[in-house]
Structure 1
Amino acid sequence: MTPRLKRARTDSESSDTITMDVETPAKPKQHEKLWFDDGNVVLSTDVHLYNVHRSILAKNSTAFKDMLELPDVGNLSIALSGDISKGDGWEGKPLIRMVGDSDEDVYHLLMVLYDVKFYSSHKPATLPVILSLLRMSSKYNFFDVLYEVTKHLERIYPSDLDGMTNRNTDSLLVDYGFETDDYDFQLLVVAQQCNVKSLIPILYFDCATFSIDFIIRTAEALSLERSTFMRILRGRDRILYYLRQLAVKAAALLAKFVDDPPSFPINQLLEKGRRVEDEDLLSSVCEDCSEACATSLDAFRTEIWESIPGIFELGAWEDVTPKVLDGPSPSIADGMEQAP
């Protein structure tokens, strides 16, 4: 429990004067795992102090590199809001105050730098880790980390049609879909904050497949910006238009489609492995009709895909897809603008 101090009673006050408790802010304490005896820079949150290495931070982050190259940086207190003051370092080491960053975000980022087993883009991670790495790597130009977490997310929220065929939600999050129902919305918020353009169209698309009631509840819970909320709703209406068109395209299967409609037929059409004209449905029509239907739906699938960025008022795919995504560092920066 946070220690409390009681105001001393003066002689002029009566014995029944009510004393007021004053909260004493808890001081950050040394982190047990990320406090290295040979560390030479201290990061401070409102919860922990992290004694880490200037060389590690500077090697991985251009933002930290520039900051730590400031003249006479040894005995400084640096607030990342831009405030720098002398004489408030930590035992001769620079003290960097992580203003505006949660302790959890700082911890997750440092664990990636110091523990190779903590995170891999090829293994499922928890949603908080994914969100932290996206926020922190974008904010402080940890381009290699940003590249890895973006490629991780692009397996689930792809920017090419072939990627939709290979979507595997189990490869993204631990207990995907069970940690929280609003993970698509949380990821959309952070992807927009970090301006990771390649992820945004399919995040919008997935958010728009939820019911109106769920979208409204989630928008209120996450305090979604009105522009984001309205884009989701308008996009949802446009997807319903394609749903009606899908029924027309699949006219040969219409009777069975109406009797037993799939939950999200547009999603299933895009994720070609679970498309609407599967073997059970096609068995009810002749071979010629089946081929004609399949050809028509292939073309329709491409049409919907090309329309997705426009459905959510994001331009075209070329406007949101990075030019180069084959390597980390400068290449990932080319396709992503710094969030203001």
Structure 2
Amino acid sequence: MKPTSHCILWSDDEGCVVIKAEQRKFCVSRHLLAFHSPIFASMFELATGNEVELLEDGHEEVTVFLRALLDPRYSAPLDFEDALGILRLAHKYDVPFLVERAIIHLESIYPTTLAHAVHPTILADVVGEFNFWAVDVFKRIGAVWLLPSAYFSISVEPWSNYRERFSLEIQEMALRVQVFNMQNSIRLLEVITSESLCDCRVECDYHKQKAIHLFIQNGARDFNFLRQWDALSWQKLDEALCAQCFQTVQLRYQQRLDEMWKELPGVCTMGSWEDLTKKRVDYFRDLHECVKQRSEAEYTRVGI
């Protein structure tokens, strides 16, 4: 028996069409593709034979896209690169339900809230060129609320080896966020070393400076204001400072962190997080409306 995934992408049933991407061919249901995508429906009407070639799409992206589109048991992709490919093609071929599913999956690594952004697992497996591709796709499809986190992800790592593959607009914004990140990382360290006001301030000031020295000495040279001071660093500082100084430092640190997170969309020239949240709501409302407007007459026209 053929594996389910293989049967989905290569079927000998009547009414199938061959989709070609690069050197890979897929034999899939013409009716299902046309049902979900008016773009495919139009392509089939114009095709002279039983094969349609997708000239600009890689076969790996097409594989995960078709599987997500045609297999009702296919859940959110495990690989974020797959999710990005599905998002790009779902938007290109006008498949709103897949656009929504892929965006929701990608929102787990490009958050819009500070509480989500500081979680240690966020962005752990997403590095390098992927973030550039994500920015490119988000800009193209209008998912602007994901851009500040995506630009921030670029800013915390070296990217000179592949930056020339992307537009100057993306590079310039990434540099803006990189400068913002570096400046604010330093400002957060200054919060840690702020002058103590307690009765034992000389001793507390000494321990603050020592904590920063050890922090830098242990290799904390990469700028990332969301990961600047981890749980172990806070624990050591708690043990070294008096209760008053520790509470004051922790409070000021969190306040400054909140302020910086609120500033991030403005640095990206995108207003505020509130503005972006409204755009997200409007975007998903438009997706849902698009699905509703695909009338029974249209579905009947393509043979469903």
SS for the counterpart of 1:266 is coil
Instruction: Calculate percent identity across the aligned residue pairs.
Output: 21
Q: CA RMSD in A?
A: 3.2
Distance 1:319 1:63 in 2: 32
- Aligned-pair CA distance for 1:332: 9.3
Aligned to 1:219: 163
Q: How does 1:58-97 map to 2 (within 5 A)?
A: 58-64=34-40, 67=42, 73=45, 76-77=46-47, 88-90=48-50, 95-97=51-53
Q: Per the alignment, in what secondary structure is the counterpart of residue 159 of structure 2? A: helix
How has the CA–CA distance of structure 1 residues 332 and 154 changed in structure 2, closer, same or farther, with 3 Å as cutoff?
farther
* Match of residue 164, structure 1, among 117, 131, 139: 117
Alignment size in residue pairs: 267
Contact 1:143–1:332 (CA<8 Å) still a contact in 2?
no
1:196 corresponds to which residue? 143
Question: 1:144·1:328 contact (CA, 8 Å) conserved in 2?
Answer: no
> Contact 1:45–1:101 at 8 Å: present in 2 too?
yes
- Higher CA-based Rg: 1
Shift of 1:276: 8.1
Contact 1:40-1:51 at 8 Å conserved across structures: yes
Give the TM-score of the pair, scaled to structure 2: 0.74
Give the corresponding residue for 2:281.
324
TM-score, structure 1 length as denominator?
Answer: 0.67
**Residue 188 of structure 2, aligned match among 246, 254, 276:** 246
Which residue is 1:35 aligned to? 10
Measure, in 2, the Cα distance between the counterparts of 1:35 and 1:131: 23
SS at match of 2:26: strand
Give the letter for the 1:311 counterpart. Answer: V
Q: 2:227 aligns with which of 264, 268, 284?
A: 268
1:133 shift after superposition:
0.6
Within 5 A, what are the aligned runs for 1:12-23?
none
Structure 1 residue 329: Cα displacement: 7.5
Amino acid at match of 1:234: R
- Between the aligned partners of 2:289 and 2:132, the Cα distance in structure 1 is 23
| Separation in 2, partners of 1:332, 1:242 | 41
Correspondence for 1:255 among 205, 210, 214: 210
Q: Which residue of 2 aligns with 1:114?
A: 70
Q: 1:43 to 1:196 in 2, by over 3 A?
A: same
Task: Indicate the residue corresponding to 2:154 in structure 1.
Answer: 207
Counterpart CA distance in 2 for 1:286 and 1:194 is 52
TM-aligned CA deviation for residue 125 of structure 1: 1.5
Q: Which has the higher contact order (CA 8 A, sep 6+)?
A: 2
Aligned-residue offset at 1:161? 1.9
Aligned match of 1:233 in 175, 183, 194?
175
Identify, as 1 or 2, the structure richer in strand: 1
**2:255 aligned with 1:313:** no
Match of 1:143 among 93, 96, 108: 96
Unmatched segments (≥5 aa) in structure 2: 1-5, 195-207, 292-304
Q: SS of the counterpart of 2:281?
A: coil
Paired with 2:290 and 2:275, the residues of 1 have a C-alpha distance of: 15
Contact 2:237 2:246 in 1 (8 A): no
Q: Which has the higher helix share?
A: 2
**CA 1:259 to 1:246, structure 2 compared with 1: closer, same or farther past 3 Å?**
same
Deviates more, 1:49-58 or 1:224-233: 49-58
Give the structure 2 partner of residue 22 of structure 1: none
Deviation readout 1:131-188 (Å, 9 max, x if unpaired)? 3212101111222211121111111110122221446348x9xxx35xx743322322
CA change 1:265–1:232 in 2 (3 A) is closer
Q: CA deviation at 1:317?
A: 2.0
Gap change, CA 1:326 and 1:101, over 3 Å in 2 = closer
